[in-house]
Amino acid sequence: SLLIVGDSSAVGVGVPTQEHALARHLAATLAHEARRRVRWQLVAKSGITTAQALELVREARPAPAEIAVAVLGVNDVIDQVSPSRAVRQRAELADWLREAAGVRHVVFAPLPPVHRFPLLPQPLRHVMGADARAHDEAMARWAATRDDVSHVPIALDLGPEHMAPDGFHPGEPVYRACGEALAAFVAGHLITTNDTETTP
């Protein structure tokens, strides 16, 4: 059982349907890689920060899940939340998911390489890109201190053909690459042969 929490990238902004979005690619690839049926739920809202994501899941009260995947961070950068504060808020989110939703492990997707967003104008692209890298590095350092949290780096091609028409949100190729990478991590590191199969 999989819980996906996040912002517009978790929602799937930039593609026409969930069939092309992150959650679907993640769940389908995980089912294939782990040879398990996967039951997934999505709690996400466009534009939210990490702190707002915690408020959202508290209100939504999602069903218990074994693994949570969090796709957050760009809006922390936009709102000028400091990396250290964002890490504290991620810790609060992870702790809540563990305690209230029964999650045994929280996987954090990396912040995207904003400095390579093709249609984001300079100097904004440079400034936001540097901030995003600082946030991602802080998150990686924090995740390495916990055995119930992971940060999964993902290498991405980001030409205009990989992005949504607005040049800011992911296109289907990015959602597919991220979903497949996150699924491979979960299947390879967090699921054992003793795990029971979930119902669809």
Find tokens 């593609």 and name the residue: 15
pLDDT digits (tens, 9 = 90+) for 70-120: 999 999 999 999 999 999 999 999 999 999 999 999 999 999 888 887 777
End-to-end alpha carbon distance in the chain: 9
Tell me if 15 sits within 8 A of 172, measured CB to CB. Answer: yes
Q: DSSP state, 144?
A: T
Ramachandran class of 24: left when φ > 0, alpha when ψ lies in -120 to 50, beta otherwise: alpha
Find tokens 């054992």 and name the residue: 192
Q: What per-residue confidence (pLDDT) applies to 192? A: 65
109: nearest Cα among 73, 145, 60:
73
Average pLDDT over residues 176-195: 85
Q: What per-residue confidence (pLDDT) applies to 198? A: 42
Q: What per-residue confidence (pLDDT) applies to 29? A: 95
Q: What per-residue confidence (pLDDT) applies to 130? A: 95
pLDDT tops 60 at residue 197: no
Torsion of CA 88, 90, 91, 93, to 10 degrees: 130
Sheet holding 105-108, edge to edge: 40-44, 2-6, 67-71, 105-108, 149-151
Q: What per-residue confidence (pLDDT) applies to 51? A: 98
* CA angle, 159 then 11 then 147, to 5°: 90
Spatial distance between the Cα atoms of 101 and 120, rounded to a whole number of angstroms: 37
pLDDT digits (tens, 9 = 90+) for 112-146: 888 887 777 889 889 999 999 999 999 999 999 99
Q: What per-residue confidence (pLDDT) applies to 200? A: 37
Distance of CA 191 to the CA centre of its chain: 18
pLDDT digits (tens, 9 = 90+) for 146-165: 999 999 999 887 777 787 77
pLDDT digits (tens, 9 = 90+) for 4-57: 999 999 999 989 888 889 999 999 999 999 888 999 999 999 999 999 999 999
Q: For the packed helices 172-185 and 22-34, what is the interaxial angle rounded to 10 degrees?
A: 40
pLDDT tops 60 at residue 189: yes
